[in-house]
Structure 1
Amino acid sequence: MKVRKLTVCHTCRARKLGCDGKRPSCSQCAGTKIKCGGYQYDLVFIPSQLSIGPSTKSKARKDGKVGKKRGDCPELRTSTSTDSSDEAFQEAKPIVKPDAAPVRPSLAWPFQDIISLVVQNFSPTVLSSNSAFMNWDVDIYPRVCGAWIELLPVLSMTRRYEMALSSSVKALAVSILSRGRNGIAPISDALTAHCSALHSLHDSLHHIAHTADSDVLAVAIMCLMISELILPTAISSSAAHAAGLSDLIQLHSPEAYSSGPSHRIFIGLRPAMIIHSIRNKQPTFLASYEWRTIPFQHVKANSFHALMTEATAIPSILVDIDQLKYGSPNANSPYAVFEALKDLLDALVKWNVSFQSLTNKPSFRILGKGPEKAHVWFPDITTANSMTHYWTFWIMCIVYIRKLREDYPELRDKELLISGESPESPIITEVAIQMSTWIFQSIEYLVQDEMRLFGAISAILPTRIAYQFLRYNHFYDQELISWCERVIHGIRDRGYDYIAQYILDDDGV
């Protein structure tokens, strides 16, 4: 049995670092200028009338004979000390309570240390020199992905909603520590912290007057949303948070998010709101012209956000398709929906041409051979996000264009060529299969340790769409489908239960 050492401080234990046990502060904490968590443990003393040694009770064997435990062997008894002082020490020996939660001391860390834990586990790190990237002759710089996470230290100074933000950040921190089978925090602690944060957030949502108030609360909601991507909770939970984010952002005009910290928070939360709108087939306010343009009037959108701007049209198209399917009187005409899909596909193709022209270097490379052994590798996480989501949206357009042309034969007379081929062409099918395979081959890159939580979260929608397409359109290739399912189970084994559940779920997009 592994014995927990009492000479390791709580801070080093939570951070999985070596500790020399010095007091009052260990060398590890002193060197990094972090407040040492100390060595306090809940201790109990065993009363003298209770035995803490091995039981001497005889144990019956299957053959009916009575066996003795090793402690009853004469040669072992002769080696036992008979010193009365040793016996007294054994009777009063303090032991650690077995049910003491190892992570609870971490909740007493200074708040800035908890923020540091969250940032370090969310943001991708610099790639090592032996990475496949270094063969591309590209410059690798450290950067924080998810602009909102950079502002946590600044937002933590806000007193108005201090409790809502701190409880949400702590809930995310405990969820991170509890992730996976080897998590150092009990799931019960993570759920308790999460519920406490929900109550604090609920109490803070009644009086919102300024954009700064919305910024703090939006970041608090985002922390809880990510926490639920780690915890094995219901799929609908994060959708509720996404709806809350949308309502919170709309309390202010688009101009309020065109510069400063509010802009950085907006661009950090925007992809999550768009993806959840696609997932739940709910039109988003972000598709309006004002919200597509005004927040980027001072700071130009990068390639990924330009792609997400085009994707804001997808939820409304999905709603129109469902209304046509169920014969809703408010449904747009099949031709109008078909034209919307055609325009979206054209916009995606133009985006890809523009993105590839930004650099003379390839946007990705395939390392290895064969579906199972090959991996798609990217020069950086932004490129990985951009390409996997481009493939995803392209596949969705092809699937729904085909469906419309199948349900409404008159649309087949409308000329539509994709790379010189009709949407139903086997060549287009092969392209979609190839893109789906690339998405699954990108998982190794996205969920590697260096990509942290941000990389794994980025894989949610692309992996789901790719799996659905292969399962329904390439079902006869059982070897490929089995490989995809092994990749999904590998995601769960890394501690991302929600992501694996989301990919396999049959509801929604």
Structure 2
Amino acid sequence: MVGVPGRSKACHTCRRRRKGCDLERPSCSQCRRLGLQCDGYERKTVFVHTDPATTGTNKHTTTTLVQQPPSANGTKNYSVWPKRGAVTLLPPSLVSSAYQSNYVGLFWDMYDPNWHPQRDSDNALSTTTWLAGLQSDKSYQNSPLLQTSFFAICLGAVGQRLNEKRLIENGMKAYNKALGGLAKSIAMQAHKNHVSDEATIATTRILSLYEVFFGSDPLSHTSTSSCPDPPVGKPQGMIDKPLLMSYNQADAWRRHRFGELALLEAQSPEMYKEGISHHMLADGRLSITIAAVGVRRSTILSREDWLTVPWTGSYEKTSRDLLLDIFVHLPGCLEDMAKIEAALKMNPSHYPNHVIAESITSSDESQGLLMLSQRCHRLLSQLQSWLDKDAPPLWKAFLAPSTQPQPSNRAYPTSEAPASADDISAAHLMCLYWSTRIKITLVLLKLTDYLGDVRECASSTSNRNDLRTAITRDSNHILRTAPIFFEKGAGIAGSHIAIFPLTVALKALLLMGQIGTAEQRGIVKELLVTRASESGLSVGGFVGSLRVLD
């Protein structure tokens, strides 16, 4: 029987994927064909740590610690889920490390079930590359602070899955311990005039991930539930803009992201050319920019040196890197639009109706409007170029105009069924592409309201109906693609990366009058609460705290 320990003879990888296995040794052809790590056929040895006083008649679930033999290719394997009863007592010196290793393994099984070291980094989910690399890096091995922060999210995730309050509470304690340690670390580095190390930056990022999944629980906020302000002068990664926030879940998450950006900015872009530092910057740009989009503030990530220098070392830009090069400019466009709107509000004759050509041609706002319009069109042109040259090939063929009608049941293309890890990653890239287009096109739609029929902008301002059609089309693409992020193979990471594109699409469709508020909330509940819970953890509380759908 597939999936029942002791009865299936398939390799561990095929059993976990619930696929047929040809039983070839030392590795099966199914794993070799897909480029997966074949975890071999050996039975796992299970060790359970328990108090001797509690053995005997105690029938409660105890913590199961697993030490698995190496797989066919010599790599170590992760652990199995807890079972009942005591088997063997571990020596006290090994209890702590085995305890942590067990839950780290369980977390990975939940977070990205299909992750394997051979996966192309261009196709890895947004946090998988740096997070997996970090565990084998000396900065992790030598940093109790970083280990504590990562252990917090491991305990929280496993506790939610098993519905064990004790694990959840221990995760919260670890989170607050890491938060306090982070504050001390930053203060100490500031006192010694040292720049922040990789472990400090990584701790900030991991704590922000904890906020997404567990920050809605008030018990996780027993201390200051946000990243301590880094001692780097003013902007904390934002360009010339202080940011004052309250302490709800989304605000705490943003403070972590901007705190991380400030720590990154404290060093030169030269420091991110190699190793784990490069992966942390490359992968971190997405979440930092999403946070900046939420508050409409530009960041240093759109500066030329930060767009080029980190890729002058051993790493060439991937398709995802090239898309993020465009995405990091979005907060600046939104900030410029906000400034223009504020200026127009100061002049009631220019707001909110169409601006009269005679008045706008002599106003300072006109130049800003025209320049922003041109900037948005340049970004749309760059996005089209990315789609033509760098988008996932399967998607380019799927979206290309065809004389053959597309099957109505094909919401998104996949290389196999069910969708593989690479399929999920490719879908994420496409949803980020559509989300960026939507946000930029919404800015252009506002500009058409303000510019009206001014002669100077006639060649650069699109037809209003065309803009609305484009927004609706891209939003529907996201909604049709979104279910892939909630398949079992996507894990917790799938629901995490789905938040931004889904909220962008749902907000846009509401603005375009394509859906009502009730339908919008129904989709959020179905995908980001119900389906996300089935995949691992609900993100409904975090989405609510963002207030982007209000």
TM-score by length of 2: 0.64
> Partner residue of 1:170?
151
Is 1:459–2:469 an aligned residue pair?
no
Q: Alpha carbons of 1:308 and 1:411: their partners in 2 closer, same or farther (altered >3 Å)?
A: farther
* 1:241 and 2:256 aligned: yes
Q: How does 1:308-319 map to 2 (within 5 A)?
A: 308-319=324-335
User: In structure 1, what is the Cα distance between the partners aligned to 2:96 and 2:211?
Assistant: 19
Q: 2:213 aligns with which of 230, 241, 246?
A: 230
Counterpart Cα distance in 1 of 2:471 and 2:164: 38
What SS class does the counterpart of residue 474 from structure 1 fall into? coil
445, 460, 464: which one aligns with 1:424: 464
User: What SS does the aligned partner of 2:412 have?
Assistant: strand
Alignment match, 2:489: 450
Partners of 1:252 and 1:157 lie apart in 2 by: 17
Q: What is the Cα deviation at residue 43 of structure 1? A: 4.8
State the partner residue of 1:502: 543
User: What is the number of residues matched between the two proteins?
Assistant: 412
Matched, 1:152 2:168: no
Letter of the 2:412 counterpart = V
Q: Is 1:354 matched up with 2:389?
A: yes
Q: Is the 8 A contact 1:218 1:245 kept in 2?
A: yes
Deviation at 1:508, TM superposition (A): 9.1
Q: Which residue of 1 aligns with 2:376?
A: 341
Residue type at the aligned position of 1:312:
V
Instruction: State the partner residue of 1:386.
Output: 429
Are 2:269 and 2:309, in contact at CA under 8 Å, matched by a contact in 1?
yes
> 2:172 is matched with which residue: 191, 216, 227?
191
What's the counterpart of residue 527 of structure 2?
A: 487
**Counterpart pick for 2:272 among 257, 264, 278:** 257
- Contact 1:156–1:166 at 8 Å: present in 2 too? no
Q: Could you tell me which amino acid in structure 1 is paired with residue 337 of structure 2?
A: I
> 3-state DSSP class of the match of 1:386?
helix
TM-superposed deviation, 1:383: 1.6
Counterpart Cα distance in 2 of 1:412 and 1:211: 55
**Shift in alpha-carbon separation, 1:183–1:303, aligned structure 2, 3 A:** farther
Shift of 1:354: 1.4
Hey, what's the Cα distance between the residues in 2 that align with 1:159 and 1:176?
Answer: 22
Structure 1 residue 229, shift from structure 2 partner? 1.5
Match of 1:4 in 2: none
Which residue of 214, 217, 233 corresponds with 2:200? Answer: 217
CA drift of 1:335 comes to 1.7
CA-CA distance at 1:280 after TM superposition: 2.2
Measured after TM superposition, the shift of residue 176 of structure 1 is: 1.2
Is the contact between residue 363 and residue 383 of structure 1 (CA under 8 Å) also seen in structure 2? Answer: no
Change (3 A) 1:430 1:211: farther
Give the secondary-structure state (helix, strand or coil) at the position aligned to 1:389: helix
Partner deviation per Cα, 1:317-374 (whole Å, 9 max, x = no partner)? 11111111122899872222222212211211111111248679636799974xxx76
Instruction: Decide whether the 8 Å contact of 2:103 with 2:154 is kept in 1.
Output: yes
1:468 correspondence with 2:507: yes
Give the distance between the partners of 2:531 and 2:484, measured in 1 at CA. 12
Q: Please list, as runs of the form range in 1=range in 2, the aligned pairs for 1:21-170 lying within 5 A after superposition.
A: 36-40=47-51, 43=54, 109-125=98-114, 144-145=124-125, 146-155=128-137, 162-170=143-151
User: Equivalent residue of 1:326, what SS?
Assistant: helix
Whether the 8 Å CA contact 2:298–2:332 is kept in 1: the answer is: yes
User: Larger relative contact order (C-alpha < 8 A, sep ≥ 6)?
Assistant: 1
Structure 1 residues 443 and 107 mapped into 2: Cα distance closer, same or farther (>3 Å)?
Answer: farther
Bigger shift: residues 245-254 or 193-202? 193-202
- Deviation of 1:196 after TM superposition, in Å, equals 1.8
Q: Which digits, 9 at most, give the CA deviation of each residue in 1:95-127, with x for residues without a partner?
A: 6789x9999x99763544444334333335179
Matched letter for residue 382 of structure 2: A
Distance 1:301 1:503 in 2: 35
Partner of residue 320, structure 1? 336
Task: Tell me if 1:376 matches 2:359.
Answer: no
Does structure 1 residue 307 correspond to structure 2 residue 323? yes
Indicate which of 443, 450, 454 corresponds to 1:400. Answer: 443
Alignment match of 1:294 (pick from 297, 305, 309): 309
How much has 1:165 moved relative to structure 2? 0.7
Q: Tell me how far 1:487 sits from its aligned partner.
A: 3.3
CA contact (8 A) 2:208 2:253 kept: yes
Please tell me whether the aligned partners of residues 380 and 440 of structure 2 are also in contact (alpha carbons under 8 angstroms): yes
Following the alignment from structure 1 to structure 2, what is the Cα–Cα distance between the partners of residues 481 and 500? 16
Q: Which stretch shows the higher mean deviation, 405-414 or 394-403?
A: 405-414
CA contact (8 A) 1:364 1:378 kept: no
Quick one: which amino acid aligns to residue 487 of structure 1?
Answer: L
Q: Unpaired segments of 5 or more residues in structure 2?
A: 1-15, 17-41, 65-81, 83-89, 217-248, 347-363, 416-421
The question of whether the paired residues in 2 share the 8 Å contact of 1:324 and 1:334 is answered with: yes
Deviations 1:208-245 (A, max 9, x none): 48999621122222221112221142111110110111
Q: Deviation digits for residues 252-298 of structure 1, max 9, x if unmatched?
A: 11111112221122212221112211122221110000000111123
Matched, 1:282 2:297: yes
The aligned amino acid for 2:98 is: W
- Larger CA deviation: 218-227 vs 180-189: 180-189
CA–CA separation in structure 1 for the residues paired with 2:153 and 2:493: 13
Q: Report the CA distance between 1:393 and its aligned residue.
A: 0.9
Is the 8 Å Cα contact of residues 293 and 330 (structure 2) preserved in structure 1?
Answer: yes
Residues 505, 254 of structure 1: alpha-carbon distance in 2 compared, 3 angstrom cutoff: closer
Compared CA separation, residues 195 and 258, structure 1 to 2 (3 A): same
Cα distance in 1 between the residues matched to 2:48 and 2:484: 35
Q: CA RMSD, aligned part only?
A: 4.1
Instruction: Write out per-residue CA displacement over residues 27-77 of structure 1, whole angstroms, 9 at most, x where no aligned residue.
Output: xxxx67777232438759xxxxxxxxxxxxxxxxxxxxxxxxxxxxxxxxx
Residues 269 and 310, structure 2, Cα contact 8 Å, conserved in 1: yes
Q: Aligned pair in 2 of structure 1 residues 159, 42: CA closer, same or farther (>3 Å)?
A: same
3-state SS of 2:48 partner: coil
TM-score, scaled to structure 1 = 0.69
Are the aligned partners of 2:503 and 2:548 in contact in 1 as well (CA < 8 Å)? no
Match of 2:231 in 1: none
Kept after mapping to 1: 8 A contact 2:151/2:171: no
Contact 1:405/1:412, CA 8 A, preserved across alignment: no
Larger Rg: 1
CA 1:388/1:107 → structure 2, altered by over 3 Å: closer, same or farther? farther
Give the share of equivalent positions with the same residue, in percent.
16
